[in-house]
Amino acid sequence: MKKRVSLFLVALLMVAMALTGCGGGAQNEPADPPAAEGDGFAADAVIGVALPWLGTQNWAEADQMFKDQLEAAGFKAIVQHADNKVPQQQQQIESMIQNGAKVIVVGPVDGSQLGAVLEEAEAAGIKIIGYDRLIENTTGVDGVVQFGSVKTGELQGQALLDGLAAVKGEGPYNIELFGGGPADPNAPNFFKGAMKVLQPKIDDGTLVVVSGQTDFTQCATMDWDNSKAQARMDSLLSGFYADKEIHGVLSPNDGIARAIITASEQAGQQLPVVSGLDAENESVEWIWSGRQYSTVAKPTDVLVNKTIEIIKSLQAGNGMPAPDTTVNNGKKDVGVYELPPLVVTKENAKEAFANDPGRLELLK
């Protein structure tokens, strides 16, 4: 009799696990409200997309693609950007919750300032997908779609080294280092990846950071603001390079790369080898004409498509697909859907943009 009762209890437990999606669902999911998984939602549901700003080409592309593709998939899309302001983004997410969004996609202005509003969304059974940037220090995130951020930095560091060898002859080489906006969790990761490659060459004397500024905090560019990067570059050049050539600069993205190159030209320097990120149209042209050495392509359409694939899986009641890896955000292990970034120089540009008619057109 006892045995039968316990068998019955085991069977009951298994049914309960199957119903709530526990035990077999996406990795690292601590108990979500049962209604959120397995049920799906209406095919014309509201989907919110909260972008940080439209200050670089990738975000402007994402803004347009989310609007077009979510509507084309039958959803009602609320796509907003926060002009790089944290309170504005918090309010936008708040109003997406009030408007009944079933999924909110978030590219955070500041990775660690959305905890309260996202936990409110989580409690309402809304799924939250980090887009391009990690969302830190909150349980209110179900997964992140991004190009590998440390990998991106490694590619930038390696491109700088390769470019120096290709363009500037034998070392040692004088270089300077730039990082992105410190509130963006990608920025320290890009820098960390680059330093994995560059630090050993600084240690063995191949690379000389003439200013001595090698910490992320010294090299960061507040708010990813190109004009702040240009001002820092102006002062590095006048302070340390009045009688020296600068051979190369690590740049975290294309806008900052163009600011660095412009400052160098204005200071009468030979063009330094400069890395980049985003394959922005203007930088693709500069690479083709030899003014910027490299960029890293992380195509927006691939990132948006991946995000919409996840939203469709949630809509159909299939939950979050299995992630490629996980990363701890300070509060939980977050599943990461990780896409591969690609370094682009003049040498491989035609191949790299073979399926991108807009950028291919610029290589003339």
> Per CB under 6 A, which region of 52-60, 64-72, 210-218, 324-332 contacts ligand BGC?
52-60
The interface region with ligand BGC, picked from 56-64, 209-217, 242-250, 334-342 by CB under 6 A, is: 56-64
Which CB sits closer to ligand BGC, 158 or 253?
253
Structure tokens that stand for 305 in this block: 């498509």
Helical ranges in the chain per DSSP H = 2-20, 57-72, 86-98, 115-123, 149-167, 186-203, 216-219, 226-240, 254-266, 281-288, 300-315, 349-352, 357-360
Q: Is 258 in the site for ligand BGC (CB under 6 A)?
A: no
Q: At closest approach, how far in Å is the CB of 35 from ligand BGC?
A: 33
Separation between Cα atoms, residue 326 and residue 28, nearest integer Å: 8
Please say whether the beta carbons of 307 and 319 come within 8 A: no
Q: Which is nearer to ligand BGC, 77 or 339 (CB)?
A: 339
Q: Is 224 in the site for ligand BGC (CB under 6 A)?
A: yes
Instruction: Report the SS3 class of residue 209.
Output: strand
- The reply to whether 81 sits near ligand BGC by the rule CB under 6 A is no
Q: What are phi and psi of 228, to 5 degrees?
A: -70, -35
Torsion sign over Cα 196, 198, 199, 200: positive
Q: Which stretch binds ligand BGC (CB under 6 A): 54-62, 156-164, 302-310, 337-345?
A: 54-62
Under 8 Å between Cβ of 42 and 73: no
Pick the piece of the chain touching ligand BGC (CB under 6 A) from 55-63, 72-80, 286-294, 319-327.
55-63
Judged by beta carbon, residue 164 or residue 279, the one nearer ligand BGC is: 279
Interacting residues with ligand BGC between 238 and 257 (CB under 6 A)? 253
Nearer to ligand BGC, 128 or 207 (CB): 128
Contact in structure between 286 and 261 (CB atoms under 8 Å): yes
Q: Would you say 36 or 141 has its CB closer to ligand BGC?
A: 141
Q: Which of residues 320-359 bind ligand BGC (CB under 6 A)?
A: none
| Cβ(131)–Cβ(108) below 8 Å | no
Residue 66 CB-density burial (10 A; 0-12 exposed, 13-18 middle, 19+ buried): buried
List binders of ligand BGC among 134-193 (CB under 6 A). 180, 184, 186
String marking each residue 272-311 x if it binds ligand BGC according to CB under 6 A: -----xx---------------------------------
Which CB sits closer to ligand BGC, 110 or 278? 278
SS3 at position 179: coil
Q: Rounded to an integer, what distance in angstroms lies between the CA atom of residue 283 and that of residue 274?
A: 11
Reduce the secondary structure of 152-165 to three states and give it as a string: HHHHHHHHHHHHHH
* Count of residues in contact with ligand BGC, rule CB under 6 A: 13
What the block records as the tokens of 203 is 């240690």
Sole window of 13-21, 50-58, 74-82, 306-314 interacting with ligand BGC (rule: CB under 6 A): 50-58
Among 37, 46, 58, 247, binds ligand BGC (CB under 6 A): 58
CB atoms within 10 A of CB 152: 25
- Is residue 110 involved in binding ligand BGC (CB under 6 A)? no
Q: How far is the CB of 118 from ligand BGC (least distance, A)?
A: 18
Bridge partners of residue 335, in order along the sequence: 326
Query: Can you give the binding site for ligand BGC, defined by CB under 6 A?
Result: 55-56, 58-59, 132-133, 180, 184, 186, 224, 253, 277-278
